[in-house]
């Protein structure tokens, strides 16, 4: 008489009729493999089992990579939609003052930044009434200020888009808001031959909102659209 425990008929019939239920259950398969290794004894090396374990490990890594790629794709798509919505809203105003005020309003809200500031270099002072009236979104600086600001007085190559965390934000740009700005995106603007450059700065209280490890393609596209819009207003 066999001493092996007998499987209940209902369970046995289920396994025979639906073997995929067992094969698709990783925990059950691991238990069966472990039982098989125990039955073989400790002096037998199951090379097939070792190979299976390695394949399972590789499969787990592939699944993790797959999930990461899918998550990155969704994040990139969300970022693209966000930039597109901001651009469409930016192009709505038909007057320059409304265009600038819109930057610090709905455009900033769509981009989820705390403040947006346009910096224009000029040989004139900033006592113009229009500049004073738009001081919350517009700032005028002396020629050369933008490159010095972007390189932090160190010189070197100036990129179109600079993303970085900050500890002591510029009061000249942010005014009283400088004390709580912890990261910023700086977009250098080319207005064409014969014109001084400009810069669009997005500031955030979140220190992780912008950083040098992030991609700049979408903000580069936003910069190109903004430059072309400003050229229309400046012409």
> Does residue 142 or residue 32 have the better pLDDT?
142
> Does residue 64 or residue 5 have the better pLDDT?
64
- Average pLDDT estimate for 28-37: 70
pLDDT of amino acid 111? 92
pLDDT of amino acid 156? 80
39 is a domain residue: no
H helices of the chain, where? 9-17, 19-23, 26-40, 47-90, 96-102, 108-111, 129-133, 145-151, 171-174, 217-234
Confidence of residue 72 (pLDDT cuts 50, 70, 90): low
Cα→Cα distances 14→9, 20, 22, 32, Å: 9, 10, 10, 17
51 is a domain residue: no
Q: Is the pLDDT of residue 42 over 60?
A: no
86 is a domain residue: no
52 is a domain residue: no
49 is a domain residue: no
80 is a domain residue: no
* 58 contacts: CB under 8 Å, gap ≥ 6: none
pLDDT of amino acid 124? 72
89 is a domain residue: no
Give me the domain span that covers residue 181.
95-234
pLDDT of amino acid 233? 81
Q: Is the pLDDT of residue 141 over 50?
A: yes
Report pLDDT digits (tens) over 91-138.
Answer: 998 888 888 888 989 999 999 999 999 999 988 765 666 666 776 888
pLDDT of amino acid 202? 95
Q: Is the pLDDT of residue 167 over 70?
A: yes
Sole residue written with tokens 């995929």: 20
Structure tokens belonging to residue 191: 């207005």
Closest Cα partner for 182 from 195, 200, 168? 168
Question: The pTM is what?
Answer: 0.68
24 is a domain residue: no
CATH number at residue 131: 3.30.450.40
Cα→Cα distances 221→77, 84, 104, 160, Å: 14, 10, 19, 10
Structure tokens belonging to residue 60: 């787990």
Instruction: Pick the range with the lowest mean pLDDT from 119-133, 158-172, 185-199, 208-222.
Output: 119-133
pLDDT of amino acid 220? 93
- How does the average pLDDT of the chain come out, rounded? 82
Closest Cα partner for 203 from 125, 111, 140? 111
Cα→Cα distances 105→5, 89, 101, 115, 172, Å: 74, 10, 6, 9, 20
Confidence of residue 3 (pLDDT cuts 50, 70, 90): low
What three-state secondary structure class fits 198? Answer: strand
Confidence of residue 1 (pLDDT cuts 50, 70, 90): very low
Secondary structure string (H, E, C) spanning 69-92? HHHHHHHHHHHHHHHHHHHHHHCC
What three-state secondary structure class fits 157? Answer: coil
Count: domains in the chain: 1
Q: Are 207 and 160 in contact (CB under 8 A)?
A: no
């Amino acid at each position: 008489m066999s001493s092996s425990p007998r499987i209940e008929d209902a369970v046995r019939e289920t396994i025979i009729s639906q073997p995929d239920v067992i094969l698709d259950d990783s925990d059950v398969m691991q238990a069966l493999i472990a039982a098989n290794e125990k039955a073989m004894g400790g002096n037998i090396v199951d090379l097939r089992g070792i190979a299976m374990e390695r394949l399972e490990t590789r499969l787990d890594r592939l699944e993790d990579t797959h999930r990461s790629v899918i998550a990155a794709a969704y994040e990139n798509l969300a970022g693209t939609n966000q930039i597109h919505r901001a651009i469409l809203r930016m192009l709505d105003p038909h007057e320059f003052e409304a265009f600038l005020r819109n930057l610090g309003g709905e455009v900033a809200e769509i981009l989820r930044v705390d403040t947006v500031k346009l910096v224009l270099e000029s040989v004139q002072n900033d006592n113009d009434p229009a500049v004073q009236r738009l001081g919350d979104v517009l700032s005028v600086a002396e020629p050369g200020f933008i490159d010095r600001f972007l390189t932090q007085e160190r010189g070197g190559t100036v990129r179109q888009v600079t993303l970085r965390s900050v500890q002591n934000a510029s009061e000249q740009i942010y005014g009283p808001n400088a004390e709580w700005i912890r990261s910023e995106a700086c977009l250098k603007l080319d207005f064409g031959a014969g014109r001084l450059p400009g810069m669009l700065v997005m500031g955030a209280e979140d220190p992780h909102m912008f950083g040098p490890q992030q991609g700049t393609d979408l903000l580069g596209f936003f910069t190109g659209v903004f430059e072309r819009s400003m050229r229309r207003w400046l012409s």
